[in-house]
Each structure stands twice: as C-alpha cells, then as structure tokens.
A and B are shown apart, each in its own frame.
Chain A
Amino acid sequence: MGADKQSVRLGELAHARSGDKGNTANIGVVANDDASYALLRAHLTDAAVADFLRGLGIGKVRRYELPRLRAFNFVIEKALGGGASRSLRLDTQGKALGVALLELCLSVPEGDRPVVPEDDCPTLPEDDCPTSAAEGRA
C-alpha cells in the first residue's frame, strides 16, 4: 500500500444496527448515498468485517446485498459467546456490534475517498489502521 490509498471510517459513509438470533448476530449497514454504497460494495467485504471482529472469536461471516435499499446485511455466526441465554458478556445480544463496526477504517483508493468534515481515521501510511494493517503495507 502506498500514497494512492486513503483511510476512511465506515461511520462516515453509512449507519448501522445490530441484533441477535441465538448465537448468531447480524449487522445491517445502510450507506448514506449511492457513491458510498458503491465504495462499500467494493471494500466492505465479508472478509473485512470478519477481520475487524476477529477478536470476538467469531465464526463465518456472510454478506448480503440490498442495492435498492443501498444496504448490506452481515450475518456473523458464533458472535455472541453462546447467545443471549448463555453468554457471560455484558452485551449478550450483540447490540453494540453495529456501533463498533462503524469504527472500521477502510483503506480505499484516494480518488474514491469522499470528502468528509471530520475523520477519526488515522492518515495512511504513517499510522495505519487495523484492517489495512492486516492487508499488509507496500
């Protein structure tokens, strides 16, 4: 990765809501506009989400596209430490996962990066963000 990549926080491009079904969680991600949807379609892959949440010890992540709603649904297996009934965690129902996912920093081609007023993502490549770190640096 070099100077042609930029980092953008998911929360600048979309909003999200999460919940549970048994030990499976889902995160609905709704893009703010068509350009953001296109960007997320390319970069917010099931692998990117799985990588961001890997510390939770999750299973498989499936991504579903809803282009007419400019939205995605991510279904995350084994996300909840046993589910609402069994998990010992404070957030047994995955309610925090949507808010957490909005902190994901996507590394996108510079030309694709939308102009956003405030951006909490570190500037690449000096201070890489976790997801792009996993992709490795050029």
Chain B
Amino acid sequence: MPAGTKPPIKIGNGAGFWGDNLDAPVRLAESGAVDVLTLEYLAELTLAILAHKRSRNPAAGFIDDFPGTLERLVPSLRAQEGLRIITNAGGLNPEACAVACGKVLEAAGMGELPIAVVRGDDVLDQLLEWQESGIALDHIETGEPLSAVADRMQSANVYLGARPITDSLDAGAQLVLTGRVADASLCLGPAAHQHRWSWTDYDLLAGASVAGHAIECGAQATGGLWHAWADLPDLAGIGYPIAEVASDGSSIITKPEGSGGAVTVGTVTEQLLYEIDDPARYRTPDVDVDFTTLSVAEQGPDRVEIQGATGRAPSDRLKLAIVYRDGWTATGSLGVVGRDAEKKARAAGALVLQRVARAGFTFAESLVECLGAGDIVPQVIRPRESPSEVILRVSVRHEDRAAVERFCRELAPLATSGPPGIVGYASGRPVPRPALGYWPALLPRSLVCPMVEINAASAWAAARVTQGPETCSLGGTV
C-alpha cells in the first residue's frame, strides 16, 4: 500500500428494501466485520406510500422500522467506536426520523452521538413553479408532458448523490439519515470520505459505485435468488453483503464469517446486471459508470474481487421520480379445484366482472389470472398438463373508489352461485387501495440543492419538526 493510502473501507448493507430481514443489520454490525453499516429502504414507490402516511401525521413519513433497528444496534455502536451507520430511512421526513433516532440514542445514554440529516431531494413543492417557468418534466419513457398528472402528484424526489453523505462523515457524523439518494451513493459516500477522492476521479467513483450496486439489494449478492439455491449452506442464516472498497476503486465482495449463503463470481456477476439498462452507461448523480470494463474474480472462499471500473462525468440532469394518484385498485383470490379447474376459474373470473358490469360499473382495466395454469408469465411458460387446481386472481382498477368497492363485494357470492369447487371465502373481502402511477423525469442539476444539518442526538431528540422555509447551504454539491 503506498504511503498515505488508507486501508479498504468495509461497508456492509443490512437492508435491501423496506420489509427486509430485521435481524440482518444487527448480525452485520455484531460480526465486527464492517466499518460502515448501510440500510437501503426506498424502492420506486416507497416514497409515495410515505407521503400518504405524512399527509395524516406530520411527524410520520420516514421508515418507522428504523428507530427500533437502531435501538438493537446500540450495543454495537457502544463497542465499536468507529462504526458509522448510513441509511435512506429518512424517506420523506428525515428530520422526524432524526428526532425519533435521537430519542432512542439519548435513552441509551448516547446523546452525544452526531446525527446528520440530508435534505433537498423532496422537490414536490417546487414542481409546479418549475413547470410554469417552462422546465420540461416529460415522462422519460413515454415523452408525455407532466401536465397530464400534475394535479395528482403525491411525491416528487430527485436522486441525490454521494457528496452530502461524504460531507456529513467529513464533519464527524456517526449516523447519516437521508431521503432519496441513488442507491450506490450509500456506498460511494463513505468510500470517498475514507480515501479522500476528488469528485472528478471518475474511475475511482465508478469503482465504489459498482461495489454499492453489488450490495444494494442485500442478500441478492450472497446467494439470494441463486439458481443452485438448494446447494447453498444455511440459507436460513444467509449473510448480508460487505464491500471492502480499496483506495484504487477495486472492491472485494464478501459476507461475515460463518454466515449462510455464498459469495461467488456467479452471484456477484448476476447481481451486477440487476436492474441496469445500458451497461456502458450506468448513470448515477456522481459518475456515469461503464460496467463493460469490469472483471470479477474469486480471491478466496466467499471473497470476490471486482476490478477495472471506468467512469465518465455524469449528466447535468438528475433523475426525478414523481408518483401520482391513479385511481383505485383491488385484487381478490380464490382457490379452484377439480377437473377443468382452469376453465372454471376463468369462467368464475368473467362472472364476477359481468355481475359488477350489470350493477353499473365497467372497468377500463381488469385482469383475470389463473395461477397454476401459466399466468405468472402469461403466454410464455405453460404447464405441461392441465392443472387439477389453480388460484383464481381477479384485479381491477378504476378512477372511482365506489366501483372498486362494488367489485370487492362480488367475489363472495361465487360461493353459492358459481361453478363448484371454489374455495377460500374465509379469507375475507378484498380491500380497495390507492393505485399509484410512476413518472420518471429529468431535472437540471442546477435546480437541486442538497442540505446537511448535523446535531447531537440529544439536540435532535429535543427538536420539533417544522416545515419551515429552506435555505441552500451546499449549492451545487449534489
């Protein structure tokens, strides 16, 4: 290692989505194998769900599982002075998350611990103004103008990059709470902090972003979804992934010793391809990464090295994810058994829709699925024989909640008035739920203004969350 070069920083990801295994982050921290624990909670629609929660309670809108997880991490924070935690659990309300976390830490006698809050991703309030000033926010895939849904927007969050996270760590934060940031930023932020990279060292930024991409979905890098799943040791105790990111941008992907699952060239390579588009241009707010120059090689048991990442300057536009209300939806399922199960199920599904139509409600969108008869990947994978039992699944969407309510009441009558051999009525009526539309767009970087605020846990615990006017303290450092 050249003089002045710091050792690799070990970044473990203990959550790949909201709802992931609750023990995984605790096990990663207790393993002592990580310098940084990250928790990635925000899928495309999560912020819209949080918007719904915040609309009913101004102190809500963050991942409310996280303070409980933090409480379980207190012994590790006490025992490992250098341990840092970085998470997008802040969701739509990182300040409220900081207040809840501050209370947890203060109660545990750790009121001095510095908590950073990163904001600036939530641009819902500015959108209409930007639209009026002529900034195009067309749908990336369809090209439609935002005016089509502007009156129904639930959330609008721009993907921030790693710099506010690096700035937070540089300023001494031990817990960093963000809203929407690019998933790879949770890994690049601490790596850039450790190795003091310049924000124009694109190959290095690319290397840490690749490592972040490899671990962002948690156990998908360590044997989750693996085709030879039956051969993996202790899948029940699957280890969550650790990226050891070196100063040259290369990384080793591994997992805690003694944990289940496996880290192989295969598991890592498959995960590198997960949810990417053009591999020569994997876009992040900090760097455009070229995956085609990567090489992946085994360096030991459950240790796989990724090398050769190259990067270029990122776009001057950032991805903006808007979620809008799109009517109501509901889904009901019943079991169908016997000879001609598929035929009976399809007929029963049609009956439900006919009866709702006779009651005066027709649906622009409805779907009858026969699970077991080849409908999970419709028209692609068919069973070899006619199934003797299937699950009938009927779904509808409508602008009007009343129509969906009516549909929800129409499954039970099949018990006495449909084909024989239909079961499962005891599980209750389906419930209407809001349907959400996803609207990805691009926003000029110059409009986005990330902000970092750092306070001791006890100060956050005493803070009152207000939605005051925001001033930009870190302009241009997205």
Contacts and interface: CB of A to CB of B under 8 A. Distances in A.
A4 B226 CA distance: 34
B393 interface: yes
Interface residues of B, number: 55
A91 interface: yes
B426 interface: no
A6 B280 CA distance: 34
A22 B438 contact: yes
A86 B279 contact: no
Interface in A19-44: 19-24, 26, 28-30
Given A19-B274, A56-B378, A85-B323, A30 B269 contact: yes
Contacts of B294: 66, 68-69
B50 to A, nearest CB: 14
A88 B270 contact: no
Q: Give the secondary structure class of B's interface.
A: mixed
Contacts of B276: 26, 28, 73
Interface string B351-384: 0000000000000011101010001111111000
Contact of A17 (B274, B395, B397): B274
B328 interface: no
A2 interface: no
Contacts of B87: none
B291 interface: yes
Interface in B196-250: 220, 225-227
A22 B395 contact: no
Indicate the size class of the contact surface on chain A.
35 or more
Contact of B367 (A53, A89, A100): A89
- Top 9 nearest A-B pairs (CB, nearest first) are A55-B379, A28-B273, A88-B395, A19-B275, A88-B367, A100-B377, A85-B436, A17-B270, A85-B438
Contacts of A53: 380
Contact of A15 (B270, B329, B397): B270
A134 interface: no
A23 B380 contact: no
B227 A26 contact: no
B277 A88 contact: no
Contacts of A28: 270, 272-274, 276
Contact of A85 (B141, B326, B366, B381): B326
Contact of A20 (B272, B275, B379): B275
Interface of B: 43-45, 48, 140-141, 220, 225-227, 266, 269-280, 291-296, 308, 323, 326, 329, 331, 365-367, 369, 371, 375-381, 393, 395-397, 435-438, 440
Residue picked from A28, A65, A71, A88, most chain B C-beta under 10 Å: A88
A73 B141 contact: no
A125 B272 CA distance: 38
B141 A75 contact: no
A77 B142 CA distance: 11
A75 B274 CA distance: 11
A98 to B, nearest CB: 8
A122 to B, nearest CB: 11
Interface of A: 11, 15-17, 19-24, 26, 28-30, 52-56, 62, 64-71, 73, 75, 77, 81, 83-86, 88-91, 96-97, 100, 102-103
Contacts, number: 132
Given A16-B227, A19-B274, A66-B292, 6 more contacts: A56-B377, A69-B294, A88-B366, A90-B369, A90-B375, A90-B376
Given A84-B45, A89-B367, A103 B275 contact: no
Nearest to A53: B380
A62 B280 CA distance: 13
Nearest to B275: A19
A52 B294 CA distance: 30
A75 B466 CA distance: 43
9 contacts: A15-B227, A22-B44, A30-B266, A68-B295, A73-B273, A75-B277, A77-B141, A84-B45, A88-B396
Contacts of B280: 64
Contacts of B274: 17, 19, 26, 28
Contacts of B293: 68
Contacts of A73: 273, 276-277, 279
B186 to A, nearest CB: 18
Contacts of A21: 275, 277
Contacts of A102: 227
Contacts of A90: 369, 371, 375-376, 393
Contacts of A84: 43-45, 438
Given A86-B437, A89-B367, A90-B371, A103 B273 contact: no
Contacts of A30: 266, 269-270, 273
Given A71-B269, A85-B45, A55 B380 contact: yes
Contacts of A70: 269
Contacts of B378: 55-56, 89
A69 B380 contact: no
Contacts of A83: 438
Nearest to B277: A75
A103 B323 contact: no
A66 B278 CA distance: 10
Nearest to B228: A15
Contact of A88 (B44, B45, B141, B365): B365
